[in-house]
Amino acid sequence: MKVINTTIEDVKVITPGVFHDSRGYFLESFNQQRFEDHLGRTINFVQDNHSHSVHRVLRGLHYQIGKPQGKLVRVTKGEVFDVAVDLRQESKTFGCWTGRILSSENHEQLWIPEGFAHGFYVLSATADLHYKATDYWYPEGERTLLWNDVDLNIQWPLSMPPIVSAKDATGLSLELAEKFYC
């Protein structure tokens, strides 16, 4: 397992060792002890989620107030541009975003700790995105940050207008969105 920093210190890119031979490949997608050793903290995942989307779908930017979720995100089919936005008011990177192409080819994963909004844009014909979450879905605390907020200026790799849900189209700007206090 290789772990590298992104432009936001607490968001990490994790690349598992991939062992190829004539039959295909094998990888260990998650190892609790190695993961915690690299992060320097205890992590307890309680829920796994799977999202299947078609080309040009943009989901997000989602987060939960009251029961924030850390997420370990990976793509098992296709390719997405995955984004994390720092909503921790007292963080030196508050309001900043980082993005990474995750695919079934590069096997990279993105660790997004609690206090971040998360979203992704599908670059391939279809994509299956899996993520582990550190807390359960909490509908009362669910919030959406506007994916195209001019203050965030996320550089989505859009070839055409994205396909977004009604909820995602009416997310709040960074200025109006609820934030996390560390």
CATH of domain 2-169: 2.60.120.10
The mean-pLDDT minimum among 30-44, 47-61, 147-161 falls in: 30-44
pLDDT at 102: 98
- For residues 67 and 37, what is the distance between their CA atoms, to the nearest angstrom? 24
- For residues 86 and 34, what is the distance between their CA atoms, to the nearest angstrom? 25
- pLDDT, tens digit (0-9, with 9 covering 90-100), for 59-85: 999 999 999 999 999 999 999 999 999
- pLDDT, tens digit (0-9, with 9 covering 90-100), for 9-42: 899 999 988 888 899 889 888 888 999 999 999 9
- For residues 30 and 16, what is the distance between their CA atoms, to the nearest angstrom? 8
Q: Average pLDDT of the chain?
A: 96
Alpha helices in the chain (DSSP H): 32-39, 166-169
Segment holding 71, helix H or strand E:
strand 71-77
What number is the average pLDDT over the span 43-57? 97
Residues marked active site are found at 62, 131
What number is the average pLDDT over the span 38-59? 96
- For residues 53 and 59, what is the distance between their CA atoms, to the nearest angstrom? 9
List the domain boundaries for the chain: 2-169
For residue 163, count other CB atoms closer than 10 A to its CB: 15
What number is the average pLDDT over the span 98-107? 98
| In the chain, % of residues over pLDDT 90 | 88
What number is the average pLDDT over the span 118-125? 98
Angle at 104 between CA 5 and CA 46, to 5 degrees: 65
- For residues 182 and 148, what is the distance between their CA atoms, to the nearest angstrom? 26
Q: Categorize the per-residue pLDDT at 182 as very low, low, confident or very high, splitting at 50, 70 and 90.
A: low
The mean-pLDDT minimum among 3-12, 18-27, 167-176 falls in: 18-27
